[in-house]
Amino acid sequence: MKLSARAVIAAVLLILAAAGAGFYFLRESRAPANVVMLYGDVDLREMQPAFYATGRITRMLVQEGDTVRKGQLLAEIDDVRYRDALAQTRHQQESSEQALARLLNGSRPEEIRQAQETMLAQRSLHNAQQKLYERVIRLIPSGAEMQQRRDDVLGQTRSIQHTYLAAEQAYLLALQGPRTEDIEAGRAVAEAAAAATRLAEDEYRDAKLVAPADGVVEARILEPGDMASPSVPVYTIALTDPLWVRAYLSEADLGRVALGMRARIATDSFPGKAYAGWVGYISPTAEFTPKTIETPELRTRLVYQVRIFACDAGNELRLGMPATVTIDLAPPPTGYAPGCASARPASGDGPKP
């Protein structure tokens, strides 16, 4: 079967057109020399907050998909036991503080006057008894029976003397006030009671679960009526800051990319929109362990994980979303610092600094 000249020419033109289209496609799809193009997925950190106390959950205040702020109340457990324990420790602290204040203030003026009056009364009684004893010694003659009488008066005199001396010491103690050791012991008791109150306050606060950081609720693991404990998480929360794209850098491009380089991030969910970002992490080790003897083919297969942090003011990027990253290898402008405050949008729809 012979082909006509027109058919041959048409076939040649078709082959040339296909070759030209392929060359144009390869030339256009190849990244410029001053950029590195990577493909990866949006990634972020997650946390699973749990109650520090143990008890039955009474309230769950947020649902899946809710945005929470740091310090926001998320859930509560039954706090009756912790509230009663706190009231008890507060009363004990108040009692110990009053006892310490009594020691620090010393004797009241009324107590000092009372001790003084008791001492003066005992002194008068002692003086009178002493005079009686001296009269007995002078007037009663000697003899066994009289000697017994003198001994009785002497015993009464000494007893009254000891009572007077005790009243005198009590008056002196009232003037001096409490001992330093008693004050320090009272202060130690008051401090221990204050520490017990602080511990009870912490345990009472632990009956409430608050968000440790800003984020979005992904899942409710427990529900009202479940028993909570420090080992059982209540929610799964996605932390929207920081947000990054996890990609892999080939060994050939490892020497061209450095931390802090500017980048643009694009997704299929928002065509034509780019997000500003920067290279925030480069793994120090290869993703795959090389063999003992490396061949050139194996060296080109080694990759290193990189994280390109993104500025997503509109909260549009989602966990696992495929993304295309273009890293700018050109030196950054003067005064540029990695971060959303210094990043500039790659297009008119990009995030504002």
pLDDT digits (tens, 9 = 90+) for 136-173: 666 666 555 566 666 666 677 777 777 777 777 776 66
Residue pLDDT tens, the chain, 353 long:
445 666 656 665 566 555 555 544 444 445 556 889 999 899 988 999 999 999 999 999 999 989 999 999 999 999 999 999 999 999 999 998 888 887 766 656 666 677 767 777 777 776 776 776 666 666 666 555 566 666 666 677 777 777 777 777 776 666 666 667 777 888 899 899 999 999 999 999 999 999 999 999 999 999 999 999 999 999 999 988 888 999 888 888 888 899 999 999 999 888 889 999 999 999 988 876 445 444 555 555 678 888 999 988 788 888 888 999 999 988 878 778 887 765 544 433 333 33
Same domain? For 196 and 333 the reply is no
Task: Tell the residue number behind the tokens 């500017």, with chain if given.
Answer: 262
Domain that holds residue 168: 84-202
Q: What is d(CA 285, CA 305) in angstroms, rounded to the nearest whole number?
A: 8
Domain-located, residue 25 = no
Same domain? For 71 and 211 the reply is yes
Domain-located, residue 19 = no
**Confidence at residue 187, expressed as pLDDT on a 0 to 100 scale:** 85
CATH of the domain at 338: 2.40.30.170
| Total domains in the fold of the chain | 3
Q: Determine the distance from the C-alpha atom of residue 132 to the mean position of all C-alpha atoms in its chain, rounded to a whole number.
A: 81
Q: Is the pTM of this model over 0.85?
A: no
- From residue 68, how far is each of 63, 168, 214, 317 by CA, in Å? 10, 72, 6, 17
Question: Would you tell me how many other CB atoms lie within 10 Å of the CB of residue 73?
Answer: 13
Of 183, 322, 330, the C-alpha closest to 247 is: 322
Domain-located, residue 17 = no
Cα four-point dihedral sign 171, 172, 176, 177? negative
**Confidence at residue 149, expressed as pLDDT on a 0 to 100 scale:** 66
Q: Determine the distance from the C-alpha atom of residue 277 to the mean position of all C-alpha atoms in its chain, rounded to a whole number.
A: 29
**Confidence at residue 346, expressed as pLDDT on a 0 to 100 scale:** 42
